[in-house]
Chains A and B, each alone.
Chain A
Amino acid sequence: MVNVGTGTLNEEPPELGTRNRELGTTAMEAYMTDHHCAGLRVAITGGTSGLGRALVRELIDRGADVAFVARHRDAVEQVARDTGAHGIVGDVSRKDDIHPIAIQILAALGGVDVLVNNASSLGPVPLVPLADTECEDFELALDTNVLGPFRLTKTLLGSLAASAREGRQPLIINISSDAAVTPYPNWGAYGASKAALQHLSRIWNAELNEEGIHVIAVDPGDMDTPMHALAIPEADPASLKRPADSAREIADLIASASAKATADRSMQRPTHDVEVEVAS
């Protein structure tokens, strides 16, 4: 965990305004250099609940331009009102929704630098052994957790590649889980789909390296979210991570990638003159 001023990111983050008074000017400047997301264009799926909603809030607070996607119009409008982010109604598990979602993301943001594939389906609820899993429930998990992120990534690839050519450092974050690695009984549909997503991320990353697009899978940990409550209703919320904490860690990842791009740009690309040597 990165130390910032007097606290760590597990505690209240320093606000960009004046709320966190114990931070000295230097610490604040360092924090802003490392952690701000101003000007970044971020698209997040599953933005009205749990981690997605916390991430929308966190990135808006850090100055990013955020568009989020979720299925239910009321919830989308509520989060859009609360945060000032662009809300888009759509279901990433449905093939026919992907292009309408992509059009609205591109229109809202004018392009994309960061895509967070966060929307997830558990498959059967309540969780059951694979032997009791209906095919349709497994299909829903695969459509939401594997094919949806694949389709949305593919559809936004042109924009992400354009972002890279402009010297930004486009990033795709696929939200994974420890269930992608550990064979927990009853988590078959979810675990297998997240394992597929994790491997998909590695292959995307290898293939898109030459386009300057990075793809990573992130396990945010066991969080106190509505989805977790569906999976393990008896879990003690106090024992779980707060979504806001995971959101802060993911936002740090995004900010550090962006800071690196800014540093690269200022070193290599004078912005006032097109007379630059582009590496061949």
Chain B
Amino acid sequence: MKPSTSPADRAGRGRLLVIDEDGCLSHRVRADFPSFVERHDLVIANDASTIPASLPGIHLPTGAAIEVRLAGRDSLSSRRVTRFTAVLFGAGDYRTPTEHRPLPPAVREGDRLQLGPLHAVVTGLHGHPRLIELSFDGSPSKIWEGLARHGRPIQYAHVREPLAIWDTWTRIASQPVAFEPPSAGFLLTWRMIHDLRARGAHVATITHAAGISSTGDDRLDARLPFDEPYFIPRSTAALIQQTKRQGGRVIAIGTTVVRALEHAAEPHGRVKVGNGVATQRIGPQTSLRVVDAIVSGVHEPGSSHYELLRAFQTDDVLREMDEEAEAGGYLTHEFGDSIFMTKAAAPVAYRLAPDHRLAVTAAVGSGG
């Protein structure tokens, strides 16, 4: 499939591939999304804004040029901004595809990094030459100033022109906790939010620290997504409960919303209010407890985003979706087209062939 190559693609003219609860597909445009939303439905988006998390700099022990991409943090608190999980690249920038980027110099614990005005020390290694823990020097306000002024949005070679920060913020962007944009949210405009309300639906938010989508290294990518902290406001939890009571659907804008809500799920359609850290993987073995439908990008099979879609529909339907998206020239990646997928009417596990059912049961047993 083809990637979108410019943030201009994210505007309202994007396309929307709709997969309904029976697995039937139809081709629409994004602006049609409200017409699929009904009275009492609840649309929930991730209002994280995107930190400019790409930091060019120098590995001081060797003097080598590096790029640090911040990729994870254990808290959403803006005061706890000293320690990050980060991915290191050698010389170069986003114009070289990540899989072709040179490795960084061999890094050891205690090595110092200079990243523009920011200074950091490597505090941990994770058994991979690109994956480190780092700790910034200075007060939280100095660290934020350094990130805000020196950082660039994390960017991949498929987008040719350098991104501006505003290209990576959704309309509803709030606390700066995401490392890459929660890009399904590019679909939402304030006018669309108004239209959704006019249809008798509600719109709410959670905040989830969306991590990086790719490192260019298969071994590392297999470890994605990292643990991601999230926050569920009281008002959102109340609306979820009300929606379930009234028979409405919970529609997640993006995989991060699914991950947060399902992690916070409690019995009877409740979700836990407040802070949590999503550690689970969502896939075909997952029984969705809160979310009924998802708006997402067009993802390549094998990615963690694609795996998550397998919790909503059978592999047969997903295969058909891939073929339709391919044939229809849908654009992938963060500024590409969208899908709107409703959970299969019957639980996904029952729709698999009998010989698959054993495998699913086993996966549930060991997956936790």
B202 near A278 with CB under 8 A, answer yes
B26 at the interface (CB under 8 A from A): no
Is the CB–CB distance between B172 and A158 below 8 Å?
yes
Total number of B residues with any Cβ neighbor in A under 8 Å: 43
Q: Say whether A235 faces chain B, with CB atoms less than 8 Å apart.
A: no
Residues on the B chain within 8 Å of A158, using CB? 47, 49, 170-174
Sample of 19 more A-B contacts, CB < 8 Å, known A103-B176, A162-B174, A278-B235: A89-B145, A99-B169, A100-B165, A101-B148, A103-B49, A103-B144, A104-B144, A106-B49, A108-B78, A111-B174, A111-B175, A155-B166, A155-B169, A158-B49, A162-B205, A165-B204, A165-B205, A207-B190, A211-B190
B101-109, B238-246, B316-324 - interface stretch: B238-246
- Whether A275 sits at the interface, judged by CB under 8 Å, is yes
The 8 Å CB contact of B238, one of A102, A157, A274, is A274
Asked whether, in the complex, the Cβ of B202 is within 8 Å of the Cβ of A162, the reply is no
- Tell me which of A99, A158, A161 has the highest count of chain B C-beta atoms within 10 A of its own C-beta: A158
Whether B194 lies near A104 (C-beta < 8 A) is: no
Q: Is the CB of B148 within 8 A of A100?
A: yes
Listed A/B pairs (16) with beta-carbon separation below 8 Å: A99-B166, A103-B144, A103-B148, A103-B176, A104-B144, A107-B141, A110-B77, A161-B172, A162-B47, A162-B174, A162-B205, A162-B233, A210-B194, A210-B197, A274-B237, A274-B241
- Among A100, A165, A274, A280, which residue has its beta carbon within 8 angstroms of that of B273? A274
B241: chain A residues at CB < 8 Å are: 274-275
Residue of A nearest to B198 (CB): A210
Q: Does A103 contact B170, Cβ atoms closer than 8 Å?
A: no
- Asked if B234 CB lies within 8 Å of chain A CBs, one says yes
B250 at the interface (CB under 8 A from A): no
Q: Does A166 reach chain B (CB closer than 8 Å)?
A: yes
List the interface of chain B (C-beta within 8 A of A).
Answer: 40, 47, 49, 51-52, 77-78, 81, 140-141, 144-145, 147-149, 165-166, 169-176, 190, 194, 197, 200, 202, 204-205, 233-239, 241-242, 270, 273
| CA gap between A155 and B164 in the complex, in Å | 14
Q: Which of B147, B200, B204, B235 has the most CB of A within 10 A?
A: B235
Judged by a CB distance under 8 angstroms, whether A236 is at the interface is no
Enumerate chain B residues within 8 angstroms of A104, measured Cβ to Cβ.
141, 144-145, 148
Closest residue to A98 on the B side, CB-wise? B166
Query: What CA separation (Å) do A155 and B171 show in the bound complex?
Result: 8
B64 to chain A minimum Cβ distance, whole angstroms, is 28
B contact residues around A165 at 8 Å (CB): 204-205, 233, 235-236
**A159 touches B (CB below 8 Å):** yes
From residue A276, how far is it (CB to closest CB) to chain B in Å? 5
- Contact B174–A107 (Cβ < 8 Å): no
B147, A103: Cβ atoms closer than 8 Å: yes
The reply to whether B174 and A280 contact each other, CB–CB distance below 8 Å, is no
Q: In the complex, what residue of chain A is closest to B239 when comparing beta carbons?
A: A278
Give the docked Cα–Cα distance between A49 and B275 (Å): 39
Q: How far is the CA of A27 from the CA of B88 in the complex (A)?
A: 61
Nearest neighbor of B242 in chain A, beta-carbon distance: A278
Is the CB–CB distance between A99 and B148 below 8 Å? Answer: yes
- Interface contact B174-A167, CB-CB below 8 Å: no
| Nearest opposing residue in chain B for A162, CB measure | B174
Q: How far is the CB of A153 from the nearest CB of chain B, in Å?
A: 12
Which B residues are in CB contact (< 8 Å) with A275?
A: 238, 241
Give, as a whole number of angstroms, the nearest-CB distance from B247 to chain A: 14
CA of A104 to CA of B197, assembled, Å: 32
**Residues on A with beta carbons closer than 8 Å to the beta carbon of B273:** 274
With contact pairs A106-B175, A107-B176, A158-B174 given, residues A280 and B235 touching in the complex (Cβ less than 8 Å)? no
User: With the chains together, A107 CA to B169 CA distance in Å?
Assistant: 15
The residues in A between 100 and 133 inclusive whose CB is less than 8 angstroms from any CB of B are 100-104, 106-108, 110-111
A57 at interface (Cβ–Cβ under 8 A)?
Answer: no
Report the minimal beta-carbon distance from B245 to chain A, rounded to whole angstroms: 9
Q: How far is the CB of A252 from chain B (nearest CB, A)?
A: 28
B235 and A106 form a contact (CB under 8 A): no
Contact indicator A166/B233 (Cβ below 8 Å):
yes
Q: For B77, B81, B172, which residue has the most chain A Cβ atoms within 10 angstroms? A: B172
Residues of A within 8 A of B78 (CB): 106-108, 110
Hey, which chain B residues are within 8 Å of A107, CB to CB?
78, 81, 140-141, 144, 176
Q: Are B237 and A159 interface neighbours, CB within 8 A?
A: no
